[in-house]
Amino acid sequence: MEKIEEGAIHQSSLIINEITRNVVNTQEVTRNVANQALYYHAHGDLQSFVHQVVKTNPVLSGLHTQLFESPDTLTYSTYWNKEGQLVDQTNFKFCSIFRYPKLLERAIQARAGVWSDPFYCPMGSTVLMISYFLPVLDEEGMAKGIVAGDINLKFLNQVIDDIRIGVSGFAFIASAQGFYLTHPEPTWVMKRNLFETSSQIFNGDREYYRQILEDGKAGSGFAYPELLDFEKSWFYFSPIPYTNWRVVIVIPTKELFDDLDDIFSKIVWVSLLGFVVILLVVVLIFNKLFTPLRQIVRSIQRFSFGERGRRGKKNEIELLSESLKELQLQYSTYIAEQNQVRKDKRKYEKDLKSAKEIQRTIIPQDYSFLEERKEIDLYAVLHPAESIGGDLYDFFFIDEKHLLFTMGDVSGKGIPAALFMAVANTMIKSKSTELSARNIVDVVNKALSKENSNQHFLTLFLGILNIETGILDYCNAAHNYPFLLRKQRTVMQLDQTHGLPIGLYSSKTYKSHSVALSKGDVLFLYTDGVTDCKNPYGEMYGMDNLSKFMEKAETQAPKDMVEELMTELMNFKGKTEQADDISLMALQFFGKYS
């Protein structure tokens, strides 16, 4: 029974992993859209942005964005119709947003994602779908809209069909309420309920199994499914993460135990025959027949039986020997698979550690050049939310008197964001061959946009400072506005945006501005991980607290300012898990040294 259950767990894991991959991808894509919806709406590009996301993410069957503050263009929708065409519509009243107003309110109140129950698509009565709701929040954490990502559940049938369950066994998916989402009998989908089976099918302790299912636990038992003509069968069920669904595997008991009983019966008869032969034949026959049988019996005791044995015109010893070889082969395959899983896990952990070390080498840590460059003082830190992150900063001299410095934030976090960050950082260095900030940003944007199938993008501030005159030429590609602290203790922000985030549209162009720094002035750059930092009560640090910090800063030394703000953020966060990467940079200008 332990081996049978291990096999069922292995089979269900294959199904669960494929479903979870689609669900997590949908959540991640919907989250990225929710994070950027207000920005793209403000620039009049929200519909085209939604269209591009659906087009490049095949897991989605539709994406709907509703902004509460825009009554004239209430909803932006893009979906695949039943003819396989990608359709854009505004104020589309039949999308999932209007089907589940209570779930919409729940998502907004919780400030988190919520999955809908399965429903049939209004554009095709036979298409079963689910939607993921996520609120659109502004910088203050206020709900300004809702995003809903739709998944066509037909992929569940493909996942189930790819799994072989014995000879006549089968698997299916049930919703949290017990309705069949897939089943070998298609007419039962969304019409029959797991909790409403007749006593002829299941006569066990219903409350016990109902409680296990509601608690999201795995379990097993026996039933008499109608699909197998009410033949006694063993079932195993396991929860699917993120969805509250269950995968159920059903195998006829006969397939599990009849072969074991048959083999055991043959062992008994062969043993009795051997005992009779011992009494009738000579010692030679005794040694030739009984000794191999005894070895086979000892070998069988080391294995468990669950697979069908072979039948043919062979004696019992030959059948038993072939069954043993087959079981040994299957067991070796299982062990090899388990070892490969452990090997892959160790390799992933090793690669993650290597990626972290590589990222550290990309981000500059050496400030020894400041000993000779008395015209400036500079200090920066990067504190990733995970082992590796998607923030970047850099600084280097283009020539003897021009310092180029950058700070950016890649959409998302983790390994994909870190890889995109590494590519972007390398391109910035390789393309920085002139003294124009906007030209450098424009060239890097075109290069990043060419091979960006995952639709990652990068907000970027790039500045070029003449360390003798203090003239700063800068381009802000949708990044957070830096603070400028004048020596006279006044604080201002460089609140110009010169274009969209880079990496999405190669045709977009960028502008730039310039500002003159006086001796003693400090320029302070940061990413949105600072303002989005949350305390244990769910409150954000926000722009108000950051502005107050800049106004009351006791020192203008870059290293002191950066370390003081990082300490304040960690104290504010407490034990709350960090949600986004945090990057800080402070640059102080002193002018030509004499």
β-pair partners for 554: none
> Which range is least confidently modeled, 74-88, 239-253, 280-294, 416-430?
280-294
Residue 487 is encoded by which pair of tokens?
A: 């020596």
Say how many C-beta atoms besides its own lie within 10 A of residue 475's C-beta. Answer: 27
Query: Under a CB-based contact definition with an 8 Å cutoff, are residues 104 and 132 in contact?
Result: no
Say how many C-beta atoms besides its own lie within 10 A of residue 336's C-beta. Answer: 10
Say how many C-beta atoms besides its own lie within 10 A of residue 496's C-beta. Answer: 13
Residue among 154, 177, 165 nearest 227 (CA): 165
pLDDT band at 301 (very low <50, low <70, confident <90, very high): very low
Angle at 325 between CA 319 and CA 329, to 5 degrees: 145
Q: What is the pLDDT of residues 22-50, one digit of tens each?
A: 888 888 998 999 999 889 988 889 889 99
**Whole-angstrom distance, CA of residue 273 vs CA of residue 276:** 5
CA distances from 230 to 1, 173, 178, 195, 248 (A): 22, 20, 20, 17, 17
Helix (H, G, I), strand (E, B) or coil at 1: coil
- 350 or 337, which is more confident: 337
Helix (H, G, I), strand (E, B) or coil at 55: helix
Q: What is the pLDDT of residues 351-380, one digit of tens each?
A: 556 556 666 667 888 888 888 888 999 999
Query: Under a CB-based contact definition with an 8 Å cutoff, are residues 129 and 150 in contact?
Result: yes
Query: Under a CB-based contact definition with an 8 Å cutoff, are residues 184 and 248 in contact?
Result: no
Question: For residue 92, is pLDDT > 80?
Answer: no
For 51, phi then psi, to 5°, come to -60, -45
**Whole-angstrom distance, CA of residue 429 vs CA of residue 396:** 9
β-pair partners for 246: 174, 239
Q: What is the pLDDT of residues 375-428, one digit of tens each?
A: 999 999 998 887 777 788 999 999 989 999 999 998 876 677 778 888 888 889
| 167-362 has CATH 3.30.450.20 classification | yes
Q: What is the pLDDT of residues 103-155, one digit of tens each?
A: 778 888 878 888 888 887 766 556 788 888 888 888 888 888 889 888 888 87
For 11, phi then psi, to 5°, come to -65, -45
Task: Give the rounded percent of residues in the chain with a pLDDT score beyond 90.
Answer: 25
Q: What is the pLDDT averaged over residues 307-328?
A: 59
Query: Do the strands 86-90 and 114-115 form a parallel or antiparallel pair, or are they unpaired?
Result: unpaired
Structural element, H or E, at residue 259: helix 253-280
CATH architecture under which domain 364-589 falls: 4-Layer Sandwich (3.60)
For the beta sheet containing 402-410, the strands, ordered from the edge strand earlier in sequence to the opposite edge, are 391-397, 402-410, 458-466, 471-477, 513-516
The rounded radius of gyration (Å) of the Cα atoms in the chain is: 33
**Whole-angstrom distance, CA of residue 31 vs CA of residue 570:** 25
Q: What is the pLDDT of residues 215-266, one digit of tens each?
A: 888 888 888 998 888 898 888 888 888 787 888 988 888 877 666 777 888 8
Query: Under a CB-based contact definition with an 8 Å cutoff, are residues 391 and 582 in contact?
Result: yes
> Looking at residue 594, what is its pLDDT?
45
Query: Do the strands 491-493 and 458-466 form a parallel or antiparallel pair, or are they unpaired?
Result: unpaired
**Whole-angstrom distance, CA of residue 39 vs CA of residue 43:** 7
Query: Under a CB-based contact definition with an 8 Å cutoff, are residues 309 and 325 in contact?
Result: no
Count of H-run helices and E-run strands, the chain: 14, 21
What is the DSSP secondary-structure string of 538-585?
Answer: S-B-HHHHHHHHHHH-S---HHHHHHHHHHHHHHHHTTSPP-S-EEEE
Task: List every span in the chain annotated with CATH 3.60.40.10.
Answer: 364-589
Query: Under a CB-based contact definition with an 8 Å cutoff, are residues 401 and 467 in contact?
Result: yes
User: If you classify domain 2-155 with CATH, what class do you get?
Assistant: alpha beta
Query: Under a CB-based contact definition with an 8 Å cutoff, are residues 151 and 129 in contact?
Result: yes
pLDDT band at 297 (very low <50, low <70, confident <90, very high): very low
Say how many C-beta atoms besides its own lie within 10 A of residue 457's C-beta. Answer: 26
Q: What is the pLDDT of residues 186-201, one digit of tens each?
A: 888 888 888 888 888 8
pLDDT band at 510 (very low <50, low <70, confident <90, very high): very high
**Whole-angstrom distance, CA of residue 26 vs CA of residue 22:** 6
Question: For residue 309, is pLDDT > 50?
Answer: no
- Burial degree of 51 (CB within 10 A; 0-12, 13-18, 19+): middle
- 96 or 244, which is more confident: 244
Helix (H, G, I), strand (E, B) or coil at 104: helix
Q: Kindly give, in sequence order, each residue whose CB lies less than 8 Å from that of residue 333, ignoring residues fewer than 6 positions away.
A: none
> Looking at residue 365, what is its pLDDT?
84
**Whole-angstrom distance, CA of residue 110 vs CA of residue 92:** 25
> Which range is least confidently modeled, 52-56, 61-65, 338-342, 462-466?
338-342
- Burial degree of 369 (CB within 10 A; 0-12, 13-18, 19+): middle
> Which range is least confidently modeled, 203-217, 437-451, 529-543?
203-217
In the DSSP assignment, the letter for residue 306 is: -
**Whole-angstrom distance, CA of residue 66 vs CA of residue 98:** 10
CA distances from 457 to 18, 31, 391, 419, 540 (A): 27, 14, 12, 12, 24
Residue 403 is encoded by which pair of tokens?
A: 């310092």
Q: In one letter, which amino acid is 447? A: A
Question: For residue 466, is pLDDT > 60?
Answer: yes
* Cβ-count burial 500-533 (b if 16+ within 10 Å, e if not): bbbbbbeebebebeebebeeebbbbbbbbbbbbb
Question: For residue 1, is pLDDT > 80?
Answer: no
β-pair partners for 243: none
Question: For residue 583, is pLDDT > 90?
Answer: yes
Task: List every span in the chain annotated with CATH 3.30.450.20.
Answer: 2-155, 167-362
Quote the mean pLDDT of the chain. 82
**Whole-angstrom distance, CA of residue 113 vs CA of residue 108:** 9
- For tokens 């009998």, the residue is 185
**Whole-angstrom distance, CA of residue 467 vs CA of residue 373:** 9
> Looking at residue 73, what is its pLDDT?
55
Q: What is the pLDDT of residues 537-570, one digit of tens each?
A: 999 999 999 999 998 886 678 999 999 999 999 9
**Whole-angstrom distance, CA of residue 109 vs CA of residue 102:** 11
Helix (H, G, I), strand (E, B) or coil at 29: helix
